[in-house]
Structure 1
Amino acid sequence: MNTLAAPAPALRKDATVIGLVGLAHSISHFSQLLLAPLFPWLKDAFDVGYAELGLLMSIFFVVSCITQALSGFIVDRFGPRPILFAGLALLGLAAFGFSISTGWWMLAMFSVLAGIGNGVFHPVDFTLLNRKVHPSRLGHAFSVHGITGSLGWALAPAMLVPLTLAYSWRVALACAGVLAFTVLVVLWFNREKLALDAVAPAKAAAAQPVGGSLDFLQIPAVWMCFAFFFFYAMALSGVQAFAPEAARLLHEVPAQLAAICLTVYMVCSAGGMVVGGFLVTDPARCERIVGAGFGVAAAIALVLGFATIPALAVPVLFGAMGFAAGIAGPSRDLIVKRSAPDNATGRVYGVVYSGLDIGQAIAPLLFGTLMDLHRPAQVWLGIAVVQGVLIASAFNVRRVRRTVLVAA
């Protein structure tokens, strides 16, 4: 059956679903940066180093990885809506927990809770988008999904740092908890719009891929996508956790200017995703778009790491790098969509996007150690190298997918 031939539902209906899913997704990304912008304050409050603070992010993403891989099966079995509500509630509880922590181990405990909450979002989000949005609008749906994630990342430092300066880091984290529960209330009142249509048993059985529920793990393209997201997460984590501080040390950037670099990166990344959503209307261009976007981003990372530039140029370069990486975002998600078998969306996205969590678990330890060794230029070199690997990974996905199609 050619789903593209089916009549598209009203734009308003699709837009509502995309908006609600995007709103939830923004809180997932916002919660991933609850601690990183506050590292300078947490370092003094708990008398720990950057490596120990990076370990908190590693704990968060290891737990999120395990949860994400498992939640894909749960979403396919019970539906995405209750899992989405549970994830938002856990993120809100974790934020309140961070705000009352009195030691590093309490931060670690609530990082586990936050990781469980974060792990459900990609299987939930992409199941809802793929099941409820018409295929002709999926490129734009993925674009909005990526944009809201980037805006969530941008909001975290923009909200938490001023609140910390005005009050304290505890107040800032408590406000983050209030925000998560506010979004949960909004989604609860719109819960009917997030319900999936019932599928008749015979139709559901016919849509199942041949073999068992784990047969999708035998698809080489799924693991190529997993590797792609692993390297993508390593680059992103380096930018989020330590790149602003590394740039500050290298180029004598004032602290106030360095604090806005990540927000500039994320806002510009969201703008890049808007452009990327239009470029990806032709799926055959996905890999080329990814290659061009991350090629430019890697070049800018090398400039930030090794060129002599004025302090005022640093946020501009952060913005340019974010825009280039953002253009690749919708193409990245469509690459996974094209590699997923029917009726296994939650499982495929759960496994593939667990690569994000593994990469984000490992990267803070590596980049944090480089920062403790006073090697900020090497942080930028590592980001550039990983972005280069991304280009090869994207084309590997296409090569493997084409090989399978020819063999079939």
Structure 2
Amino acid sequence: MNHPRPATPLATAQSAEPPARDFEVISLIGFAHAVSHFFHLLLPPLFPWLMNDFGLSFSAIGMTMTIFFVVSAIGQALAGFLVDRYGAARVLAGGIACFAAAALLLALADGYAMLALVGGVAGLGNSVFHPADFTVLNRHVSSPRLPHAFSIHGLSGNLGWALAPVFLTALAAAFGWRLAALAAAGLALFALALLFSRRQTLADPPGWVAGATSGLGGGEPAMSTFAFLRAPGVWLCFLFFLLITTAFGAIQNFATPILQNLHGLSLAAGATALSAYLAGGAGGILAGGFLARKGEHEKLIAAALLVAALLALLVAGVPLAAPAVLPLMAAIGFCTGIAGPSRDLLVRRAATSRFGQAAYGRVYGFVYSGLDSGLALAPLVFGGLMDGRRFAAVLVGVAALQGLAVLTALGVGATTRAP
């Protein structure tokens, strides 16, 4: 049975944070998250040049991204322990330093082995961001502004995704892929310098002792290092992320050929429909920040994902004219995006309902490793259906995963709500 937690000194201080300080923290973490998503795509925009220069197949070059996500998934679960032990700001800086190292290695690459190493080092850097980012936001941003903080965090990641292909391909086309890699290293070093200059803003608040097992020195109960793994809500959160990102990965990887074959869209129109989905997701994240302030996060997630699932089934099973596909894809993205801020707040509830603030890093690191696991699984789960030309079945599978995610979200709500 869960009991309401007593107020802690940190919680009291947190609620009194001025808007300007909240804005600074949100902006810094948002920028860092944009950089992390930018480095998700350090390699893919440069694939044509790398394949040509090193004589690589699609399978070989694609393996570099498999390495990225496998390292990131494993590292993310472990990074949470480092966040709780050494503080989020230090671990965040270490992740950005890994990005700079990965980009410099790419600029010096002389063969496939170095490209694989680039994928691994970049994946290691990526692994720290969710446990570090959310720990900083939870410890520094006042509670009424947390929904908006999580909304901006998600939106900034999407902007990082959008910037990377344009930035890297333009530089590679004009000056070569090695200079593009050096420019990416420069971005990481700028981010590292910015975080260092504002390190006091992101440092652990007064009263917090990094590495302590009792949170705030007696305000929260002592716990063992792995106690969070015995909490059903934490496992349900992990499963939720695994399900929704496997569905997202299917759309991100295969939406264009699916829409070409199901609804006769051209290659350009299919790519535009995917862009509409991603743009709709960004809009949904913004709207979700406002809706999440009303509470009932699991119910909002359930409603949004159920609508997204129904729309996916509509696209899968009903013949559509090309002009109708784009708004439907945008609507699917919008509904999925709405769930984002509530999703992050639900994880926060799972972390604090039993462990207070002492296990933020561990819980966020473990739970968000489901993101990378889902992205790594999506090609394996749906690739066979694509090879068999069962395009509608992929969208039905996306809808099924979203429906299962609804059940896990409701389960998290039931296990973490105080009676």
Measured against the shorter chain, the TM-score band is 0.7 to 0.9
Do the aligned partners of 2:257 and 2:270 also contact (CA within 8 Å) in 1? yes
Partner of 2:91: 83
Tell me, in whole angstroms, the C-alpha distance in 2 between the residues paired with 1:21 and 1:237.
Answer: 24
Tell me, in whole angstroms, the C-alpha distance in 2 between the residues paired with 1:264 and 1:37.
Answer: 20
Partner of 1:354: 369
Equivalences for residues 30-45 of structure 1 within 5 A: 30-36=38-44
The 1:87–1:95 alpha-carbon spacing in structure 2 relative to 1, beyond 3 Å, is same
Letter of the 1:116 partner, please give it. L
1:47 Cα deviation from its structure 2 partner: 4.3
Tell me, in whole angstroms, the C-alpha distance in 2 between the residues paired with 1:156 and 1:278.
Answer: 28
Task: Summarize deviations over 1:73-121 as a string: whole Å, max 9, x none.
Answer: 1111111112111111212332344455455443322111111000000
Tell me, in whole angstroms, the C-alpha distance in 2 between the residues paired with 1:338 and 1:169.
Answer: 44
Q: Secondary structure in 1 aligned to 2:256?
A: helix
Partner of 1:59: 67
Residue 236 (1) aligns with residue 248 (2): yes
Do the aligned partners of 1:304 and 1:314 also contact (CA within 8 Å) in 2? yes
Tell me, in whole angstroms, the C-alpha distance in 2 between the residues paired with 1:60 and 1:286.
Answer: 31
Do the aligned partners of 1:122 and 1:349 also contact (CA within 8 Å) in 2? yes
Tell me, in whole angstroms, the C-alpha distance in 2 between the residues paired with 1:320 and 1:177.
Answer: 36
Tell me, in whole angstroms, the C-alpha distance in 2 between the residues paired with 1:336 and 1:344.
Answer: 12
Q: Tell me the TM-score normalised to structure 1 length.
A: 0.87
Partner of 1:395: 410
Equivalences for residues 3-402 of structure 1 within 5 A: 7-36=15-44, 46-49=55-58, 54-98=62-106, 101=109, 103-161=111-169, 172-199=180-207, 204-283=216-295, 285-340=296-351, 341-342=355-356, 343-402=358-417
Q: Secondary structure in 2 aligned to 1:242?
A: helix
Letter of the 1:337 partner, please give it. R
1:124 Cα deviation from its structure 2 partner: 0.6
The 1:246–1:287 alpha-carbon spacing in structure 2 relative to 1, beyond 3 Å, is same
Q: Secondary structure in 1 aligned to 2:216?
A: helix
Q: Secondary structure in 2 aligned to 1:280?
A: helix
The 1:377–1:162 alpha-carbon spacing in structure 2 relative to 1, beyond 3 Å, is farther
Compare 252-261 and 89-98 and name the one that shifted more: 252-261
The 1:203–1:236 alpha-carbon spacing in structure 2 relative to 1, beyond 3 Å, is closer
Tell me, in whole angstroms, the C-alpha distance in 2 between the residues paired with 1:301 and 1:377.
Answer: 9
Q: Secondary structure in 2 aligned to 1:328?
A: helix
Do the aligned partners of 2:215 and 2:221 also contact (CA within 8 Å) in 1? no
Do the aligned partners of 1:122 and 1:350 also contact (CA within 8 Å) in 2? yes
The 1:138–1:96 alpha-carbon spacing in structure 2 relative to 1, beyond 3 Å, is same
Compare 158-167 and 225-234 and name the one that shifted more: 158-167
Letter of the 1:109 partner, please give it. L
Letter of the 1:319 partner, please give it. A
Tell me, in whole angstroms, the C-alpha distance in 2 between the residues paired with 1:243 and 1:40.
Answer: 21
Tell me, in whole angstroms, the C-alpha distance in 2 between the residues paired with 1:157 and 1:392.
Answer: 36
1:240 Cα deviation from its structure 2 partner: 2.4
Letter of the 1:226 partner, please give it. F
Task: Summarize deviations over 1:290-309 as a string: whole Å, max 9, x none.
Answer: 11211222233334444433
For structure 1, which runs of at least 5 residues remain unmatched after alignment?
none
Letter of the 1:321 partner, please give it. I
1:65 Cα deviation from its structure 2 partner: 1.6
Do the aligned partners of 1:157 and 1:263 also contact (CA within 8 Å) in 2? no
1:365 Cα deviation from its structure 2 partner: 2.6
Compare 187-196 and 353-362 and name the one that shifted more: 187-196
Compare 363-372 and 118-127 and name the one that shifted more: 363-372
Letter of the 2:331 partner, please give it. A
Do the aligned partners of 1:287 and 1:398 also contact (CA within 8 Å) in 2? yes
Do the aligned partners of 1:151 and 1:266 also contact (CA within 8 Å) in 2? no
Task: Summarize deviations over 1:119-171 as a string: whole Å, max 9, x none.
Answer: 00011111111111111211111111111122222333444455566666665
1:208 Cα deviation from its structure 2 partner: 4.6
The 1:170–1:330 alpha-carbon spacing in structure 2 relative to 1, beyond 3 Å, is same
Letter of the 1:15 partner, please give it. F
1:8 Cα deviation from its structure 2 partner: 2.0
Tell me, in whole angstroms, the C-alpha distance in 1 between the residues paired with 2:169 and 2:329.
Answer: 18
Q: Secondary structure in 1 aligned to 2:293?
A: coil
Tell me, in whole angstroms, the C-alpha distance in 2 between the residues paired with 1:178 and 1:293.
Answer: 39
Alpha-carbon RMSD across the aligned residues, in angstroms, is 2.9
Q: Secondary structure in 1 aligned to 2:57?
A: coil
Q: Secondary structure in 2 aligned to 1:196?
A: coil
For structure 2, which runs of at least 5 residues remain unmatched after alignment?
1-5
The 1:53–1:208 alpha-carbon spacing in structure 2 relative to 1, beyond 3 Å, is farther
Task: Summarize deviations over 1:53-84 as a string: whole Å, max 9, x none.
Answer: 55433321221122111111111111111211
Do the aligned partners of 1:98 and 1:173 also contact (CA within 8 Å) in 2? yes
Tell me, in whole angstroms, the C-alpha distance in 2 between the residues paired with 1:43 and 1:345.
Answer: 41
Task: Summarize deviations over 1:19-68 as a string: whole Å, max 9, x none.
Answer: 10011011112222334556677667744245x55543332122112211
Letter of the 1:365 partner, please give it. L
Task: Summarize deviations over 1:231-282 as a string: whole Å, max 9, x none.
Answer: 1221122222332343345444444444444443333222211111111113
